[in-house]
Every structure is written in structure tokens, then in C-alpha cells.
Amino acid sequence: MSTEPSAGGAPAATAAPPEGAPKLAGEALAADALLAIPIFKGISKSLLEKNAGAVSRRRFKKGELICREGDFGSTAFYVLSGKVEVYIATPMAHVKTSGGVRGFFQKLKSFLVSKREDPRDARDDRLIPIDAPIDLPFLHPQAQLGEGELFGEMTCMSRYPRSATVRAAEDCEMLEMLSNILSLLLKNPAFKDKADKNYRERALEQHLRSLPILKGLSSEFIDRLRSKVELVRYDPGQVIFRQGDPSDAFYLVRIGFVKVSQQAPGGDVVLAYSERGSHFGEMGILAQVPRGATCTALDHVELVRIPADDFRSLVNEYPNIRQAMELVTRARQAESIQRLAITQSVPLEAFLEQGLMEAQNLLLLDLDRCTRCDECVRACASAHDGVTRLIRVGLRFDRYLVPTSCRTCRDPLCMIGCPVGAIRRRHSLEIVIEDWCIGCGVCAKGCPYGNITMHPFNVDEPDPKNPGTVKAVMKKKATTCDLCTEHAQPACVAACPHEAAMRVAPHAFFSEQLSTGQPPTGRAAKEGNPAPGSKP
Amino acid sequence: MILFCGLLGVRKKVPTWRLGNAAFWLRAHIWLGVLSVPMILFHAGFAVGGALTQALMILLAIVVASGIHGLVLQQFLPRLMTNQVETETTYEQIPHVLEQLRAEAIEVVESVCGPLQAPPEESVAPPDPSDPSAPAKPAAKSKGKTAGPVEGSGPLKDFYLRTIQDFMAADRLGNQILATPARARAHFAHLRKILPPALQDPAGRLEEICNERLGMETQIKLHHWLHGWLFLHAPLSGVLILLTVVHALMSFKF
Amino acid sequence: MARDRSTKALASRIELDYFKHPHPWRTAMRNATLAAPILAAVWLLLAVMQGDDIFTSGPVATRHRMFENDCQACHEPWKGVPDTKCVRCHEAPVHHGNQTFTPDCAGCHEEHKGHTRLSRTNDRHCVRCHSDLKTTGQPGGFDSSIQSFNDGHPEFAAVRPGAKDLAVVRYNHLKHMKKGLQGATGPVTLACTGCHFADEAGRYMRPITFEKQCKDCHPLALGLCVPGAVAPHEVPAAVRASVAQQLAVSASQHPERMQPAQSESPTRLRRGTASRPATPVNTAEWIARQAREVERQLFGKTCKLCHDLRPGKGDLQEVVPTKIPVRWMQHATYSHRAHRTLTCSVCHASAARSAETSDVLLPTAVTCLVCHSAAGGSQHGCTECHTYHDKTKERQADGPMEINPVRLIRSGNKREQTGIGAGEF
């Protein structure tokens, strides 16, 4: 019963856009009743009548579950009265094997090889971005939302899984709505003003401070900014600005994903996906040059726009911010130059066909050397708390097997859609999944190569039926190859006794084959399928 | 020199990773192993001595010979496997993957022929309920056709029931019709000839599935060749180490 | 519609934790690896319990066969083979009083090498000290840096430059080895082996004796007075007595010899010496005269052919002791028998040219090295010539050991099944 809202939306989410609106639980509201609510003021009655049934009023008792993290849904919630508690219940952990005798030996082995815990960036003041006006602090991922606040926007508009669990903190009343109502609402000046106001008052400061480079801001400055910032919305596919446009604003991402791409011979190259909490557009402003990249909204995006003049005065006032900003800028510039250089140096067609061009760092097994002893998989498991991130099957390219292991794509499709921003790139381009992964599986679906796997593991969770007790629950978390960056060599490569396993930059490794413009053998196309009966 | 022998043994016991990479260890293992032969021969002064030392000598000979045998096999068998088995999978998972192949084959047949009379229960249900994605995939694709038997699908169903079903279910292929690539090819060519155009694709898929099954058999065979020698090498190395320690202890005692 | 064979589809067929479930292949491997050493251990235990001597590193030397199955006879646990076990039977006198290092018995005598002679130790045991010889107290007078016979071994003392045969006897090899010498019964040509014979062991040449080697051609004839009679090869007093006695016998048996006319027959020894006209007076006078004559001949000439005489007691001279060396190389052993296939002159080449007694006719080390070196191919270890322990100090007989029938029966049964059976004891 507690999961009802999301359960109601689930089928629609997996199948088709919610045209025939699913039946919402709770008390359906008529257009008149809606218009009585301040935020609906100004919307034409006929529009509301057309969308009858797409919004309902729901009442929750204290402690009742409103939605659960990782579930799929298609509704957003607007708090009419009362307070709700927002938190991430999944324990902060990555997947590990359970104990037992084998576990002991694994531990012994890990000890012998001086293996550290799978490291994550230890920054305790991090914020976990969620689908609500506020972010959750890393150490204690819990917050409260009150009257007049909206959450579940991304779920509703872009079908992301719920990013957090919401429970009624007291008896409360809320509006649950489908995307058609929500978009009406979002376009409604009455709501927009309220939302802007809300944001300015409540979230702006936290949001700004959540950016590491803006940490040193004084409260007065934020007060000054309050009136200047603007919340802007973009629809999926809408271009925010293009490469070569004048640099007129700095953006913070509040909701959704923004693709940052650059023109390159052979097509655009994706430089980054900016998710909630990240920023872009500073480069042109600081250097006072036109935009160096095109930014496109991937889904329903809400941005915080800071005009260029204000941004400039901000950085001028805070030299340390300027410094940090320039540092980031330089790193980004170097990275994009490097990437463009890579893409320019190889003939694209042949490689793109293989799907290997996407890869920056590819695990290859030389099949002429590999004795199929499976040591690489075992090494991977032993290096990652007993969970392998490498599956020794895949397609072949030349005499190499490209096994299932992260290839750190240039265009990391897996990073699109994480509702909690747990998947991201780290310094050496490897993709890492943070401990607060809620196991929704969006990244695993997003990866075209099956390189992200959802591993089940047991956790103790408070039993909602018998408060105060815990029960073992099977949870899933995503894992992917982290390139073993804490070691000199990836575990799989180091463990290969026959020097068959290697991590290579494919464009350089296959440069010889690429220079001929043809893959050496035709037997390993990306969606390859050996012609029936072509070879016994 | 006795210690040298022991070192060779101890080295193998150390977990392979992170103390120098495994390739280095393997190389050291091979060279030290080969080197140990002359060293031990000199140590023994080319005499075999008593029962224990005789046993040690024989063991050493077998262990070194099997090691060299394995080394030689490892030089060309991987290439052979690469060339002969296109659709290689993880050796340990062959039974599991095979189950899924069976399920897939049934899926393909059922999608065009309607439900089979009494498909063996265990081969229909994927063995691991937590991983239903693979068998489910073809199902989703062919969902549109499940309504009933497609016209002219009789031969396909017959062929499946008479030949493929056994072929997929058998533990050992033996002299199954499809176990010979040439015969399998001929059978499928014939099958295609008598099937209507609409059923060419399922037949092709069935052939692929059978080819993959056949590849697995080759893979198993090659895998056994590739790793079978270890059954001689590893246990006897254990014995060799034990007896060497005894030999060393006794020679210190006396 | 093709089957989906993307990486993702392939990977999804694999169980994520398959490597945690023991695969039969790996299980079998692990079990075999565990079982094999256990089986080996069981074999060891059984063998030990049955009393099988599986730990031996090889058969013991022939002389020690009686201890073949009795480890405790020589070995003491954790102590190896203490010397005390060896010296129960072997005296093993010390090599030199001033040596700085005395190895354990087992240090040089390596057992369990099969049926070898334990006294033939490896050169390295000798060279350990002799390559850089240190002594306590007085230096021993030996070369201090000997690596092998080929490297650092000094020339034999007997043939070093300036070394002389100091025997007080005159012998000329050159003369004696001429062809067609006049022998007792006609012309003869002497060969080396005509005079030189090896001892019973075939090792060294026996001393030359007058009786065997010289007498035939060089009889100590008394002269015409007693034709055919010879003096013994004795000290002068004995010669005098013998001469007197033979003259007396001759006078009594052949009175006619006292006639002057009959003293004409010439002998080889008296050729060219004029005999005075004899006027026989009586027998005693004749004997005394003849004795003086014979003694003058013998002591003045015959003896001096080889020997030096010097004034002795009374009117008799005495023979200076000859001091002919019996063994030249006291620190080494040698076997002429082992070298019997060789012509004497190969080694003793100078004998044919030697005119002086003082010439040493032994070969030099170079001669030995022709064969006894790595290049020559023959054995060239130290023990070929040298012994470490002084063998003359060995126990003659009556050692401590007893025959233990039980031991030998076991040995017999095991080694050759039907060989030394229990019935023999």
C-alpha cells in the first residue's frame, strides 16, 4: 500500500509515454477544485478539464511511505500541507561478498596483497543531488520538504527512477500529478514565480555552496545574487547555446542532464554530460571569448542562469573562486583538446563501426595467448571484494576478445539518467559509481556493452512492519570496472600469466589496422553476427 | 640446492597477484623449473641413490616433463581454439549457457510452430530465475508470431523434435547427426529448401544455435587438452615438495 | 532477424558469481593436489614402519656393506657421522703435527657413493689446505700453494737439480748395458729386468743384491791357489775366515797344488801377474802365504771394484756402508706393476747414459704428467700417489666388530633374494 503511487505509474513508465493517463490513487480533483489552489491560478479551465484525472489529492499519515528510491514512477508531488522526510535508505556501500570461510580466505588474500578498500573520493561535505529542490548531505542523507514544494519532477517529466525515499513526517496532504499537469503547472506564471521564489529563498544558497569552487561565497553576495539569478527550463533536445555564440551567462544545472559537445571532423564529440549540481558556461565568460562548445538539454532541464556581468563581478570579488574556476577551466580545455586530437588522428568510419572508437581504455584478451584459465576474472573479484567486474565473454576484434569490462567511453551513455548522480567520471577518466547508488539500474541499461552489472547483495534494513527490528533485504547495486586506478596495473592484467590481458587505448593499439582503413578480419562487427553456416 | 627446490615450491604457494605480475611469475616458474633439472642432477651427482631419492628423481622427471608438455600445448592450442570456436564462452558457464541455448531454441521453434507437445519442463524454465534477460530477449522479439503455427512449419518442428532436441539435450554429442559440421550444414540446407520464406530466419537462428552448441563441444575438448596436464603437474608437484622437505630434513638429521 | 550477439547479450548469459561455485574440474584439481601429497606421506609412513631404509642416498662402500641397513652404526640423529664412530675401527692417525685444520672423517670420505674406495678422496679436500698452506709452529717445508698435480706441485725432491744418489758404491749403468758383454758363460746383453725385480706387491723394485744380480759375472774368485773357489760377499773378517778355511781344505785335498809347477794355469783374475817360484815348505806356511796373496787380491782389488774400503780394526779394512736407497719418494706410493705395460726407458731414460753412481735415474714430474693430467687422460688425483693417514700406524688385526647374523640375513634377503640366505648362518 505504501508503494502505491509508484506502482500505479510503473507500467506506463516502462511501456509508452503516459497518453492514456493511468489511474491515480487518492481523490481525483476537478478543474474547479484545482483552480482553488493558488499555484493553478491562471491556467485555463478547459485545459484542466482536458487533463482530468491527471492529478489527485492524497493524504498520508505520519510515517507512511510516499515513494521509494529506485522505483519507477511518472508522477510528481506537490506538498499542500504538512512535512515530508526525504532520505536515501540504501546503505552507503558498494557491493561486497558475504563472509564465511571463503570470505575469510578472500580477506587473507586481500591482506597479503595489501589491497585497500575500494576507494571512493572521501569528501564528506559532498551533496547527493536528488529530484527535489534540495540536495542531501553525504554523511546524513536526509532532509525535509514542506508546504509548497514540489518533488519528483525528473521522474515525472523524464521518467527517471525515484532518487530518494519520501516518508510523511507528519500527517500531510499532497497533490500527485502526471507530466501533462506538471508541464501546465511549470508554465504557469503563478507557480513559476512561487517556484523561483522558493528556490531563491531556500535552495540557491545551498546549491551555490554545494559547488566546490564556490564554497567561499559570503552570505551578502548570495543575497545580491538572489535577485539576479533566473530559473530557466529547456525541453529535451533544445539547444541552450551553440559553439560560437556570445558568452552571456553562467549556468548551474538544477534538474536534468546537459550534453556538452564540440564539433569535430566526423561528427560531434561529447565532452561531458552535466548533471544536477554541475556548472558550465564559465569558460567563455572568463576568457571573454565566444562559447567553445554546444550545450544541449538531453531531457527536461532546469538551469540556474547567472548573467555574465554578475558572474564576472563574482569572480572578480573572490580571487580564490576565480583561481579555482580557472583551474577547472584549464583542465577542461586540456581534456577537450586531447580528445579532439584523438578523434582527429584516426579514420573514424572503420572504428566507429566496431564501437571501439568510443572506448578510451579497452580491455583486450589476446586469444592466441589466452589459455582461458579465468585468472583475470578471479583477480578482478579478489580486487573488488569478491565481486567481479569483468565477464570473460564478448565479441572479437582481430585476434582479440573484447570482454565485458568498462571501456571508459568518450560518450558515456551510462552517465545519463542516474537519478542520484552516483555515476561519474573520475580524474583519469575512469567511471566510478558512488556508494549511494540506489540500484535502479538505469546505468546498466544505458551501457550499450553490458559493462555495468547489477550485483545483488544482502543488507539489513529497518523493517517497516515491526519498527525497531531489521530484516535482511536483497538489494542491487551497480558496479563497473574502475581500472584499478589505485594500483599500477589493473588486477586482471597483472594476474594474467600469459600476458594475454591488456588495457590499451584502442586508437593507438589498432593504429596499424586503422591506417589500412579496414578491420583486419570481418568477423567482429559490433552487432556482428557471423553469417549462418559461414564457418563450421 | 635443496633449498632451491623448496623455493620453487614456496613461490607457487604465494598468491599470484601484486607481488610482481603473474606473467613474471610464470616466466620465473618455467625458467627455474627447467634450471632445477641440471641443478638437481648435479646435486645428486648423476646417481639415483635410495628409494626416496629415486622417487624424487622420477617425480621431478614427470613434473618437468608434464610442465614442458603443458607449455608446448599452451603455445598453439589457444590459437586453435580461437580459430575453431567462434562462439566461445566462459568454460565454467558452458552448462549454464547451454541451458539458455536450449531455452532459446525452444523459443524459436515455438514462435513459429506453436507450443510443442510436452517440452521437458527443466529445459524450458531458465535455470536461474534471477537472470531471465537472455531467454526473454528472443521472446520479446518474436512475440508477434506466437499466435499459432505458421503455415508450412511442420518440417521445422519435426526436425526440431527428431534431431535438434536430442542434440541440445545430450551431454556428449557422440554420433549425433548434427555433431558433424558438414552433415549439420547439409541438413540445414535441406531444411531451408523445404521451408517457406517466412521460416528461413528461424531456421537460420536454429542453425546458429546448433553451431554454438557444437562450438561448445570443441571448446570443452580443447579446454581439457589445455588444462588437463595440470592434473599430473599440480598433484605431483605437491608430492615433490613434500618429499623434498622430508629429504632435506632427513639429510639434516643424518 | 538475427540473433542478438552483442557483448551485452553475451554477458547477460553468464552468472555473475559463477567463479564462486566450485566447478567440478577445479574441485577435482584441488582434491588431487591435496590427495597426492597425503598418499605420498602414507607411503613414507608405511615404508618407515616396515623398517625400509628409504632415506639412504645411495649404497655404501663395499668395505662398509655390513652396515648397509644399520644407519645407527654410523649416523647419530642430528649429529651426522661423528668421528668417534669411525675410529672404533680406523686409527686415522693425524696427517701432520703442525696442521691448522683437521677435517671430520666424513668431511673427506664421502659415503653412499656406491662401491668406491673411500680412501680415494677428492682433490678438493687436500687442496682446501694445500692451496694456501698454513701451519702452526715450524713450517713443514712443503710448498704452500698446490692446486693439483698439474698446478703448483713441486718437482720430486729426488730429481731436483743438484740432487745426487749418495750411495757409496760404484756402478756404471752405461757399461753394463753395452751389447755383448762377456758373461760367465759367454757374451751377454743385459736388460733392465735382468737386474731389477719388483717386490711381491709389484710396487717397488727390490734392492739389488750381490748374490742375485752381480755374482754370476763378478765371482769373488780366490785365484789359482784354489781354482773355482769364491769368497763370500760378506764383511772382511768373514771373507778372511772363509779364505783361510778354503785354503786349508784345498791343501789337504789337493797337495799337488802346493807344487810350483802347477801354479801355471792362468785365471782371468790373475792374468799378467807373475807368480813367484814357490818353494813349498809345509802346508801351514803355504796356506798363510796363499792367504796373504788372496787377501791382497780381494781387498786390494776385487772389493774395490764396487765398494769403498777404509781402515778397520787391526790389519783388516772395513767396507764403507753403501747406503743404497731402497725407496726414493718417501711421501708417495708407486706401483711398477700398474705401469708394467711401459718400457722401463720411457721413464728411466737416463739410465742408459748414466756412468756415475751419483746419477739419479728417476723420472721427473713432467714425465708423470704426460699421462697423469687432464690432457693425458690418466687419473691425476692427489690420492694416486699420496696417502693422508700414515698407513704404517694402522691396527694389524683384532678390531672391535662382530658378525651380526641378523643384519646380514636381512641384507641378503632384500638385496638379492636368493643370495646370502638365512640358511647360511
Query: Which segments within B46-94 are labelled E, that is strand?
Result: none
Question: A147 and A40 share a domain?
Answer: yes
Question: Given phi > 0 = left and psi -120 to 50 = alpha, else beta, which region is C106?
Answer: alpha
A392 plus A468 within the same structural domain: yes
Question: How far does chain A reach from its first CA to its final CA, in angstroms?
Answer: 56
Structural contact between residues A255 and A154, judged by C-beta atoms closer than 8 angstroms: yes
Give the residue from A105, A110, A113, A371 with the most B CB atoms within 10 Å of its CB, the best one to mutate. A371
Largest Cα–Cα distance in chain A?
76
Task: Examine the fold and report which residue of A327, A343, A359 is the final residue of a domain before the chain moves on.
Answer: A343
Residue A152 phi/psi, 5-degree rounding, is 85, 20
Q: Which three cell numbers stand for residue A16?
A: 509508452
558496479: which residue's cell? A479
Decide if A97 and C5 are in contact by the 8 Å CB cutoff. no
Residue C372: pLDDT over 90: yes
Q: Which of C3, C14, C54 sits opposite B90 (nearest CB)?
A: C14
| Position B200 pLDDT exceeds 90 | no
- In C, which residues are within 8 Å of A449 by CB distance? 6-8
Question: Which residues does chain B have within 8 Å of residue C39's beta carbon, measured at their own beta carbons?
Answer: 239
pLDDT digits (tens, 9 = 90+) for C129-179: 888 888 887 777 788 889 999 888 999 988 988 889 989 999 999 999 888
**Inter-chain residue contact A448 with C2, CB threshold 8 Å:** no
**How big is the CA angle at A265 (ends A261 and A269), to the nearest 5 degrees?**
20
C37: nearest CB among B53, B93, B238? B238
CB contact residues (below 8 A), chain B span 165-194, against chain C: none
Provide the grid cell at A137: 548531505
Identify residues of A whose CB sits under 8 angstroms from chain C CBs.
Answer: 97, 102, 374, 377-378, 381, 386-388, 391, 393-395, 402, 404, 447-451, 453, 455, 526-529
**Nine-digit cell string for A90:** 540504501
If you measure CA to CA, which chain A residue comes closest to B87?
Answer: A395
Report pLDDT for A105: 47
CB pairs under 8 A between A and C: 59
Q: Which of A109, A399, A499 sits opposite B15 (nearest CB)?
A: A109
Confidence (pLDDT) at C68: 75
Nearest of B217, B224, B123 to residue B178 by alpha carbon: B217
Q: From A202, A235, A252, give the residue that closes a domain.
A: A202
CATH number for position A155 = 2.60.120.10
Same domain for A337 and A355, yes or no, is no
What's the pLDDT band for C268 if we cut at 50, 70, 90? very low
- The shortest CB-CB distance from C55 to any of B97, B104, B250 is to B250
Q: Is residue A367 part of a domain?
A: yes
Beta strands A142-145 and A150-151 are unpaired
Range of the domain at A252: 213-343
Provide the pLDDT for residue B106. Answer: 85
Q: Is the distance from CB of B124 to CB of B106 less than 8 angstroms?
A: yes
A455 part of contact set with chain B, CB < 8 Å? no
Collect all residues of chain B within an 8 Å Cβ-Cβ radius of residue C111.
none
Show residues of chain A in contact with B21, CB under 8 Å: 489, 493-496
Residues C14, B97 contacting (CB under 8 angstroms): yes
Chain C partners of A387 at a C-beta cutoff of 8 Å? 16-17
All cell numbers assigned to A197? 521564489
Q: What pairs with residue A28 in β-bridges?
A: A56
pLDDT reported for residue B43: 77
Give the mean pLDDT of C344-358. 91
Cβ contacts of A500 on chain B, cutoff 8 Å: 78
C57 and B49 within 8 Å at the Cβ level: the answer is yes
Q: Do C39 and B231 touch (CB under 8 A)?
A: no
* Residues A410 and A339 both lie in one domain: no
Q: Which residues of B touch C58 (CB under 8 A)?
A: 47-50, 53
Per the CB < 8 Å rule, is C20 touching A393?
A: no
Chain C residues in contact with A492 (beta carbon < 8 A): none
Boundaries of every domain in chain C: 17-49, 236-319, 395-425
Query: Are B16 and A114 a contacting pair at CB < 8 A?
Result: no
d(CA C190, CA C178): 8
Length, in residues, of chain A: 536
Check CB contact under 8 Å for C15 and B131.
yes
Residue ending a domain, among A149, A180, A202, is A202
Note whether A488 and A511 are same-domain residues. yes
Q: Do A281 and A362 belong to one domain? A: no
Lowest mean pLDDT among B74-83, B98-107, B136-145, C144-153: B136-145
Q: Is the domain of A19 the same as that of A167?
A: yes
Point out the residue among A113, A375, A535 whose CB comes nearest to the CB of B86.
Answer: A535
Taking contacts as CB-CB distances below 8 angstroms, the residues of chain A near C29 are none
CB contact under 8 A, A497 and B204: no
State how many domains chain A has.
3
Is A293 in contact with A243 (CB distance < 8 Å)? yes
Q: What pLDDT does A80 receive?
A: 86
Which residue's entry shows cell 542434440?
B167
User: Does one domain contain both A164 and A273?
Assistant: no
What's the burial of C101, exposed, middle or buried (CB within 10 Å: 0-12/13-18/19+)? exposed
Give the model confidence (pLDDT) of C15-64 as tens digits: 777 777 778 888 888 888 888 889 988 988 888 777 656 777 777 888 88
Confidence grade of residue C369 (pLDDT, cut at 50, 70, 90): very high
- Compute and round to an integer the Cα radius of gyration of chain C: 39
Predicted ipTM? 0.76
pLDDT of C196 reads: 92
In the predicted model, residues of chain A with pLDDT beneath 70 are: 1-23, 90-126, 202, 210, 212-216, 264-269, 336, 338-358, 410, 426-429, 459-464, 467-468, 507, 511-536
Our CA-based measurement puts residue B82 at a distance from the nearest CA of chain A, in whole angstroms, of 6
Contacts of C11 in chain A (CB under 8 A): 391, 393-394, 404, 450-451, 453
d(CA B67, CA B237): 10
Q: Among B134, B138, B243, whose Cβ lies nearest the Cβ of C13? A: B134
| Cell digits of residue A382 | 579478489
- Determine the pLDDT at residue C320: 92
Could you tell me the three cell numbers for A208? 551555490
Q: Which of residues 202-221 of B touch C (CB under 8 A)?
A: 205, 208-209
Q: Among all chains, which residue has been given the C-alpha cell 734392492?
A: C207
Residue-level pLDDT at C336: 93
Q: Is it the case that residue C250 has pLDDT exceeding 80? A: yes
Answer whether residue A519 is part of any domain: yes
Global model pTM greater than 0.90? no
CA angle A48, A49, A54 (to 5 degrees): 70
Residue A434 domain-assigned? yes
- What distances in angstroms separate CA B227 from CA B71, B91, B153, B222, C382, one per listed residue? 10, 11, 44, 9, 54
Q: Which residues contact A275 (CB under 8 A, 6 or more apart)?
A: A129, A253, A257, A415, A418, A421, A424
pLDDT grade for C348, boundaries at 50, 70 and 90? very high
C316: pLDDT strictly greater than 60: yes
DSSP-derived 3-state class of residue A527: coil
Rounded distance between C-alpha atoms, residue B13 and residue B242, angstroms = 13
Tell me the nearest-neighbour CA distance from C41 into chain B, angstroms.
8
Which one of C4, C50, C57, C104 would you mutate to disrupt binding with B, by most B Cβ within 10 Å of its Cβ? C57
Amino acid letter, residue A5:
P
β A400-404/A391-397 pair status:
antiparallel
**B16·A497 Cβ contact <8 A:** yes
pLDDT averaged over chain B? 74
Lowest mean pLDDT among A54-58, A521-525, B183-187, B212-216: A521-525
Same domain for A315 and A377, yes or no, is no
Across chain B, which distance is largest between two alpha carbons, in Å? 88
Chain A residues in contact with C7 by the CB 8 A cut-off are 393-395, 402, 404, 449-451
Which chain B residues are closer than 8 Å to C56 by Cβ? 49-52
What is the nearest CA distance from B84 to chain C, expressed in angstroms? 18
pLDDT at C249 over 50: yes
Chain C residues 10-69 with a CB less than 8 Å from chain A:
10-14, 16-17, 19-20
CB contact under 8 A, A393 and B88: yes
Contact B204 A532 (CB under 8 A): yes
Report yes or no: A499 at the B interface, CB cutoff 8 Å.
yes
Q: What is the rounded average pLDDT of the residues B42-70?
A: 82
Give the model's pLDDT for residue C368.
93
Residue A458, burial from CB neighbour count under 10 angstroms (0-12, 13-18, 19+): exposed
Residue B134 forms contact with C (CB below 8 Å): yes
Mean pLDDT, residues C389-393:
81
For residue range B112-162, what is the model confidence (pLDDT) as tens digits?
A: 777 765 444 444 433 344 443 434 334 333 333 444 566 677 778 888 887
